Amino acid sequence: MVVGRFAPSPSGRMHLGNVFSALLAWLSVRSAGGKMILRIEDLDPDRCRPEYAAQLRRDLEWLGLDWDEEQTPQSQRTEAYAEAFARLDTYPCYCSRNELHAASAPHASDGAVIYSGTCRDLTAAERAAKTRRPAWRVRVPDEEVSFVDGLQGEVRENLARECGDFILRRSDGVYAYQLAVVVDDALSGVSEIVRGHDILSSTPRQIYLQRLLGFETPEYAHIPLLEDAQGRRLAKRDGDTDLTALAKRFSREEILGMLACSAGLLDENRSATMEELIDTFDWEKVRTEDMRLPEDVF
Ligand code: GLU
């Protein structure tokens, strides 16, 4: 059975871009008669708030995006992450943010700093002399990780060259998204991950962790980010694509229809019910680029 999930971070209101990822994840699972899991990714105590999580659930329910199971929120699953963390080859890293972002540091294509390995081979005495609380990184080999994405085709990354040893636990003790997501997906039997293209660059790291931990790799489909009719990426600052604002101007069926049309699932921008979209869903129809909202949304 297909097991899919939607894993939002409750760090703000849902905007149409989040709804779009959720809808495609849902349609894929529901059209296959599978099981849908909701997981609130509230790892970061500085950014996440319970009221956003409550609003997220209400928004999903209003849209008709239901779930069969809700996994325990990430903030309450520290033990599972600690257990996985203990099985991995990690080391403490004492570099400050400024040291990591030094002007000369090489950057990956997504703008992230490629870790140079400064703390990789410190001796016990060198570690003992440090006063800063360390973050913990996992060692990565100079090898390519590759996988075939349902929409993007073959993706390859050499973690050592394009990312470097990456953080699994922050200096404040919070486990990193990369580790939590891998543990949660595996322990809940997720077989299919449909999510935004903005997370594609994390996937090779997640697959690497799955292999180290002996977990199966699910199927992936990274969907292009939704853009406005002029081709600009939607952002949270666009209050007009906040679901609450949209719900005042459009019915649920109109919102579902405009998203389905943007994805290539409907030929024209018209109302559609969830049942119709489930019955006619087909990955072959989903566009691989240029997912744009119709003009009249704005
Ligand atoms: N929590 C992440 C976000 O809201 C999504 C993680 C995922 O789908 O793997 O951006």
- Is the shortest distance between the CB of 100 and ligand 1 below 6 Å? no
Residue nearest to atom 6 of ligand 1 (CA): 7
pTM above 0.85, yes or no: yes
- Is the shortest distance between the CB of 4 and ligand 1 below 6 Å? no
Question: What is the C-alpha to C-alpha distance for residues 250 and 254, in angstroms, rounded to an integer?
Answer: 6
| pLDDT on residue 235 | 66
| pLDDT on residue 231 | 83
Which among 26, 71, 177 is the best mutation to test ligand 1's pocket, defined by most ligand atoms within 8 Å of the CB?
177
| pLDDT on residue 209 | 98
Q: Please say if the pLDDT value at position 237 is more than 60.
A: no
Which among 185, 195, 202 is the best mutation to test ligand 1's pocket, defined by most ligand atoms within 8 Å of the CB?
195
Q: Please say if the pLDDT value at position 213 is more than 70.
A: yes
Which among 15, 38, 181 is the best mutation to test ligand 1's pocket, defined by most ligand atoms within 8 Å of the CB?
181
Q: How far, in Å, is the centroid of ligand 1 from the Cα of 124?
A: 37
| pLDDT on residue 14 | 83
Give the mean model confidence (pLDDT) for residues 159-168.
96
Give the mean model confidence (pLDDT) for residues 91-108.
86
Q: How does residue 256 score in pLDDT terms, banded at 50, 70 and 90?
A: very high
Residue nearest to atom 7 of ligand 1 (CA): 7
| pLDDT on residue 18 | 87
| pLDDT on residue 103 | 67
Give the mean model confidence (pLDDT) for residues 65-81.
97
Top-confidence residue, 28 or 106 = 28
Q: How does residue 296 score in pLDDT terms, banded at 50, 70 and 90?
A: confident
- Is the shortest distance between the CB of 168 and ligand 1 below 6 Å? no
- Is the shortest distance between the CB of 184 and ligand 1 below 6 Å? no
- Is the shortest distance between the CB of 206 and ligand 1 below 6 Å? no
Report percent pLDDT > 70 for the chain. Answer: 97
| pLDDT on residue 240 | 61
| pLDDT on residue 107 | 81
| pLDDT on residue 148 | 98
- Is the shortest distance between the CB of 7 and ligand 1 below 6 Å? yes
| pLDDT on residue 150 | 96
Q: How does residue 291 score in pLDDT terms, banded at 50, 70 and 90?
A: confident
- Is the shortest distance between the CB of 8 and ligand 1 below 6 Å? yes
| pLDDT on residue 245 | 83
Lowest mean pLDDT among 1-5, 11-15, 92-96: 11-15
| pLDDT on residue 236 | 57
- Is the shortest distance between the CB of 164 and ligand 1 below 6 Å? no
Average predicted confidence (pLDDT) for the chain: 93
- Is the shortest distance between the CB of 192 and ligand 1 below 6 Å? no
Nearest ligand 1 atom, CA 185: 9
| pLDDT on residue 142 | 96
Q: How far, in Å, is the centroid of ligand 1 from the Cα of 123?
A: 36
Lowest mean pLDDT among 147-161, 171-185, 209-223, 227-241: 227-241
Lowest mean pLDDT among 16-25, 143-152, 196-205, 225-234: 225-234
Report percent pLDDT > 90 for the chain. Answer: 78
Q: How far, in Å, is the centroid of ligand 1 from the Cα of 21?
A: 10
